[in-house]
Structure 1
Amino acid sequence: MSDTVSFGYEDVTPTEKTARVRGVFSNVASRYDLMNDAMSGGMHRLWKDRFVRRVKPRGHEQILDMAGGTGDIAFRLAESGAAVTVADINPEMLEVGIGRAQQRGIDGLVWTEANAETLTFPDRFFDAYTIAFGIRNVTDIPKALHEAHRVLRRGGRFFCLEFSTNVWPGFADVYDAYSHHLVPKLGKLLANDEDSYRYLIESIRRFPDMPTFERMIADAGFVQTKVEPIMGGLVAIHSGWKI
């Protein structure tokens, strides 16, 4: 790992990034749904539905939902009867998720504070690993991908939903202008937090493009890797298998 990593458009030490990302999500935890609506125009709900359909959870499975603190993906996965563990590095995000689960009467989820780079779960424990809109905030992404591979059983599957690089001519420029100029202002208006929203947009721009991230997944040991662009790569579903 290099001496510096990206925090939005800044280059900072790995320790500083971890601390600053934790601060961002502590700030936005109570308004996380609002943040996602602002960043995606509400489309994130449809993307998450599509994502979980690709995972195809089954009732007998153990699934780890990493960076899933507020429960959006876990609630959908749990509808299958799968045993879902929700892990997040940020306790405030987990508190929001636990509260939402109680409000919805959803029982049986396991909630745990965990760092994607240093999981404490045993080898070959889970049937599936999901992470939605979280991987770009990880300090050492290759290390997190290797950890995902480690905790999956043979035949286990990895699924990642993340903002990516749009390749539609014209649309990319429109979205770039919207995200850089409007989203931080919405953050200030709706959550009184312009800086956190600005970081989240900048982190998308610094995230590897689809082919590069697919290679990173393969380098972690996954096979049959696949990328499914949505809206020209505005977001993408990445997947791979452990054999």
Structure 2
Amino acid sequence: MREWRRKRLSLEDSVRRLTAAAGIAVALLALTACRSNPSVAAYVGDQSFTEDKVTTLTEQAAKVQETAQPGDDAAIRTHVVQLLIYNTLCKRIAAEKGVKLPAAEARPSEYETLSQETQACVQALPLDQMKPSDEDLRKVYDNGVKAGVLDGKQPFEQTKAELAGNPQVAGAIAVYRVLTEAAKAADVTVNPRYRPLDLPVLTAGERGPVLSAPFGIQDSAVSDSVQEPAVSSS
């Protein structure tokens, strides 16, 4: 009789575990479905940015960037999505670190205000306390050699100290680390039409980025079946 009760309790425990596991699976499926709206450009935590929002900011950015030519809309849209994610992540990082951000100055357009606000946010973060790791310095070295701004004949071990002592490089690596960590914590999800989406934090002018923070590449849930929104080129 006792043996039968033990088996019965064991069976009930197993059923509870299976039920709990099924509940978790359903919750994960629901979460994936909620983050796959094709009219959404990106999700950052519980925030989402619609394609319509991106279109509005893209039109404003095109007017600010006077050098923009017809056909540049795709690149400007991607830049706007980068900026929205960057701004949101920076604010999350500031809140976690207890940093009080300066009030944003009103600019002629929402895009310009967003750009100014993001720049001020990054400058307010206490990033100078972070020491570059060898792994991050190696990324800069490899990409710098590839871009032609570092001499590949000089071994990494001989270049490492110089890179680590460069304030611009050290600051860019700090931004890279906090952004990538914050992006993972916020489960950043990007519409496939904008992927791979990287935010350059250290560039070599026209030769391109030397270090970039990847956004949203870990999640393929967002659908890209939405049609390209019309963007004014005026």
Q: What TM-score results when the alignment is normalised by the length of structure 1?
A: 0.24
Bigger proportion of residues as helix:
2
Which structure has the highest strand share of the two? 1
Q: Which has the higher contact order (CA 8 A, sep 6+)?
A: 2
Question: TM-score, normalising length from structure 2?
Answer: 0.25
